[in-house]
Amino acid sequence: MNHLQNLKELSEAFGISGYEDDVVEIMKSKFEKHATVLRDRIGSIIAEKKGICDVPKIMFAAHMDEIGFIVKEITKDGFIKFLPIGGWWSAGLPGMRVRIKNKKGELIPGVIGLKPIHELSPEEIKKLPEIEQMYIDVGATKGFQVSEKLGIRPGDPIMPVGQFEAMANTDLLLAKAWDDRMGCALLVDVLEELAAIDHPNTVYLVGTVQEEVGLRGAKTSASLIQPDLAFAIDVSICRDTPGNGADAGEKLGAGVAILIYDRTMIPHKNLRDFVIEIAETNNIPYHLTSIKGGYDTGAIHLTNFGVPSLALGIPTRYVHTASSIISYEDYERLLRLIILIVKNLNREVMEQILR
Ligand SMILES: [Zn+2]
């Protein structure tokens, strides 16, 4: 039950790339209970959990940022022009409800506006809407001074609204920002479990910043930690919806996703095989997956002299929208797998992996 509370709190927190402070606060309060907490200089938060050996140093990274927008300028009529932060598809934006965080930290409600379909020419209807044509409406009317009354300035961050809900199919959870608050919640749950056991290594649980704009906090936190091995914990592709390539193993409830390829990294094959063996021995359902984007490990594995790395996830529907879906059962399986990885990854096993 506690896990669900964690998932709700983290998914609903405000934290676009570069403005992860609210998420940091949540992570910090949970990390402090069981670990030494470190920060890198651009904001990533690190829980250092010592086991009975210093080596191997194992890093698990989940990014705290979600995609969002920032205020670019306010028109004289009080409409807000904005810049996208991270990968949005423009077709999904008109009508989306948002919150703008002003200088006092208040969350101002608004909606992304665009000329209505009735006003578009046949040519315009065929094209994707352009973000440059859109604006945020915070209730602008004649004479209402948006900057003065609402304290909104250029540079203020904006996030989509997306309430956490358990679906009628009760294993499924609907929320904004599963990418990657799912991973953040897992780090917290992993630490809670590690606090109660001996493990033959030192574990670094890292909430990274600015993943969605180029894996930036992954790079800085890894250069601080200098891990021997690393994992990204993040959402993975789900292909079980209409028109999405039937029969694929990537579906809700299919268990842990183990990455075989993304554009930023070829996962370390011995590390991958070690993880597959643990999943098979312990009957944890898993599937292999690939993605066109990248994960934090894309940056981590190129730090220092190279860090053998692997990305693990769970299938997630509608990533990079304001409403995404995960399976709680998959979440628990990934939690179990990570704990088993930590219990089994001692110096000797690491040396075999590195051979
Ligand atoms: Zn992500």
- Sorted by where each starts, the structural domains of the chain and their CATH numbers stand as 2-66+176-354 (3.40.630.10), 70-160 (2.40.30.40)
Measured distance CA(62)–CA(214) in Å, rounded: 14
What residues are neighbours of ligand 1 (ion), with CB under 5 Å? 179-180, 234
Q: What is the mean pLDDT of residues 314-331?
A: 96
240 C-beta neighbours (distance < 10 Å), count: 17
What's the 64 CA to ligand 1 centre distance in angstroms? 9
Q: What is the pLDDT of residue 247?
A: 64
pLDDT at 127 over 90: no
pLDDT of residue 121: 84
Q: Report CA torsion sign: 187, 353, 54, 266.
A: negative
Give, in order, the Cα–Cα distances in Å from 233 to each of 60, 183, 206, 343: 7, 5, 10, 17
- The model's pTM is 0.95
∠ Cα 305 307 311 (to 5°): 155
Strand order in the sheet with 309-315: 36-39, 45-50, 202-208, 57-63, 229-236, 309-315, 256-261, 286-290
**Distance in Å, CA 100 to ligand 1 centroid:** 22
Q: What is the pLDDT of residue 142?
A: 80
The rounded mean pLDDT for the chain is 94
Distance 305 CA to ligand 1 centre (A): 25
Q: Average of pLDDT values for 157-170? A: 94
pLDDT reported for residue 44 = 98
Q: Over range 136-159, report the average pLDDT.
A: 90
- Higher pLDDT: 248 or 89? It is 89
Confidence of residue 246 (pLDDT cuts 50, 70, 90): low
Is 211 one of the catalytic residues? yes
Of the ranges 35-39, 81-85, 249-253, 305-309, which one carries the lowest mean pLDDT score? 249-253
Distance 302 CA to ligand 1 centre (A): 18
Neighbours of 18 (CB within 10 A): 20
Sign of CA dihedral 256, 261, 262, 264: positive
User: How do residues 196-221 score in pLDDT, each as one tens digit?
Assistant: 999 999 999 999 999 999 999 999 99
Q: What are the percentages of helix, strand and coil residues in the chain, rounded to 5?
A: 30, 25, 40
CA of 212 to the centre of ligand 1 (A): 7
Distance 63 CA to ligand 1 centre (A): 6
Q: Which of the following is catalytic: 20, 211, 212, 250? A: 211
CA pair distance 180, 231, nearest whole angstrom = 14
